[in-house]
Amino acid sequence: MSTIKPIATRQAFGEALAAIGATHPEVVVLDADLSKSTKSELFAKKFPERFIQMGIAEQNMLGVAAGLGLSGKIPFACSFACFIAGRFETIKISVAYAGSPVRIVGTHAGVGIGEDGYSQMGLEDIGLMRVLPEMVVLQPADDVETAAMVRWLVEESKAPAYLRLTRQNVRRVHAEGWTWTPGKMDVLREGTDVAIIASGGPVMNALDAAEELAKSGLSVAVANLSSIKPLDAAGIEALSRKVKLIVTVEDHNVLTGAGSAVAEVVASLKGAHARVHRHGVMDTFGESGTPESLYDKHRLDAKGIAAVVREQLAD
């Protein structure tokens, strides 16, 4: 597996979209002057007649995508996660409430984007999207999962959906032959003391943290929560019966994110279950810095995640 080159999930998205476009003429792609960054340009180059350049006007893009979706198209509307989140009410009404099958794609998720700073960081988008009824909210951990999700969004699902992608490269965390099951959380590593439920870019770091913690005798499970809505309540419950502590990890505000979704499930459980500690960007604004320095500061790298787990066990 180590021979596979890490790539950003936005890159995997662009490649998957360009590939599936050939067999699905109903797929149209919209972008708001960021196609080089969202990687929708890979589709645009192959299918220029089905690529719709909207200019720097995200709100209009989402409304136009809604209309296309109501007229038999499968529209992918792409921008940075932060600018998508900024057009929330348009998404709420024209996309979600309308029941239009728009595939909203938000790239450059989290503090992992680095130097551009907070204005370009999507740190609230999961919360905003998952609060909308019927909205599907997906965040893949690697390239193969991204490709599987794109295929599913074109060939299976008809619900409005949000796909959250990284700017930075991520390592493949899935083994050869693995297949994605929609709506299921996948357990990447078994363990009996602690479970880390991670989502998105930091999943690979959670695996490294588990490896690190294993050296001191801790048995740490790692689960990849890539379907944030619908949520695998049964899978979360099963984990929470097995370990004493669940630590959720994500590059998003710790309020309202994937970790909050997990906590909402566990809080309602009867009987003995794990305590949940939510880790992420701890309700602060982002800032400029290299991606590495920010992952260090927010303790989203392997070292930081391991430290958070140790702290929570010591409490």
Partner 1 sequence: MSATSRTETVAMLTKLTREMRATILEMITQAASGHPGGSLSAIDFIAALFTTRLKHDPKNPSWVDRDRFILSKGHAVPALYVTLAHQGYFDAKLLPTLRQLGSPLQGHPVNRFMTACEAPTGSLGQGLSVAQGIALAGKLDGKSYKTFCLMGDGEIQEGQVWEAAMSAAKFKLDNLVAIVDWNGGQIDGSITEVMPSLEPVVAKFEAFGWDVKEIDGHDFNAILDAIAWADGAGDKPKCIVSRTVKGKGVSFVEHPTKYHGAALSKDELAKALAELKEAK
Ligand X SMILES: Cc1ncc(C[n+]2csc(CCOP(=O)(O)OP(=O)(O)O)c2C)c(N)n1
Q: Which residues are catalytic?
A: 58
Which run of H or of E encompasses 136?
Answer: strand 136-138
Q: How far is the CB of 253 from partner 1 (least distance, A)?
A: 17
Greatest extent of the chain over all pairs of C-alpha atoms, in Å: 59
Of these partners, ligand X, partner 1, none, which one is at the site of residue 290 (CB under 5 to 8 Å by kind)? Answer: partner 1
Q: Rounded distance, CA 231 to CA 45, Å?
A: 35
Residue 22 or 56: the one with the smaller Cβ distance to ligand X is: 56
Write the binding mask 59 to 98 for ligand X: x where contact by CB under 6 A, - elsewhere.
Answer: ------------------------x---------------
Return the residue matching tokens 């180590």. 2
Residue 120 or 248: the one with the smaller Cβ distance to partner 1 is: 120
Could you tell me the CA-to-CA distances from 262 to 111, 113, 257 in Å, in that order? 21, 25, 9
Residue 149 or 294: the one with the smaller Cβ distance to partner 1 is: 294
Q: How far is the CB of 167 from partner 1 (least distance, A)?
A: 11
Of these partners, ligand X, partner 1, none, which one is at the site of residue 90 (CB under 5 to 8 Å by kind)? Answer: none
Q: Which of 34, 42, 113, 300 binds ligand X (CB under 6 A)?
A: 34
DSSP codes, 224-286: E--EEES--HHHHHHHHHH-SEEEEEEEEESSSSHHHHHHHHHHT--SS--EEEEEEE-S---
Residue 219 or 288: the one with the smaller Cβ distance to ligand X is: 288
Q: Rounded distance, CA 248 to CA 252, Å?
A: 11
Residue 101 or 291: the one with the smaller Cβ distance to partner 1 is: 291
Which run of H or of E encompasses 151?
Answer: helix 143-155
Yes or no: say if 122 and 106 are a contact pair by the CB < 8 Å rule: yes
Please, what's the b/e burial string for 212-228 (b: 16 or more CB within 10 A of its CB; e: otherwise)?
bbeeeebebbbbbbbbb
Q: How far is the CB of 243 from ligand X (least distance, A)?
A: 42
The yes or no reply on residue 56 touching ligand X (CB under 6 A) is yes
Q: How far is the CB of 169 from ligand X (least distance, A)?
A: 21
Q: How far is the CB of 24 from ligand X (least distance, A)?
A: 27
Q: How far is the CB of 80 from partner 1 (least distance, A)?
A: 9
Please, what's the b/e burial string for 4-42 (b: 16 or more CB within 10 A of its CB; e: otherwise)?
eeebbbbbbbbbbbbebbeeeeebbbbbbebbebbbbbb
- Write the single-letter amino acid at 261: A
Of these partners, ligand X, partner 1, none, which one is at the site of residue 53 (CB under 5 to 8 Å by kind)? Answer: partner 1
Of these partners, ligand X, partner 1, none, which one is at the site of residue 288 (CB under 5 to 8 Å by kind)? Answer: partner 1
Strands 74-80 and 27-31: parallel
Q: Which of 33, 208, 237, 296 binds ligand X (CB under 6 A)?
A: 33
Residues lying near partner 1 in the complex (CB under 8 A) are found at 31, 33-37, 41, 53, 55-57, 59-60, 82-83, 86, 114-120, 287-290, 293-294, 297
Strands 220-224 and 186-189: antiparallel
Of these partners, ligand X, partner 1, none, which one is at the site of residue 97 (CB under 5 to 8 Å by kind)? Answer: none
Binding residues for ligand X, rule: CB under 6 A, are 33-34, 56, 83
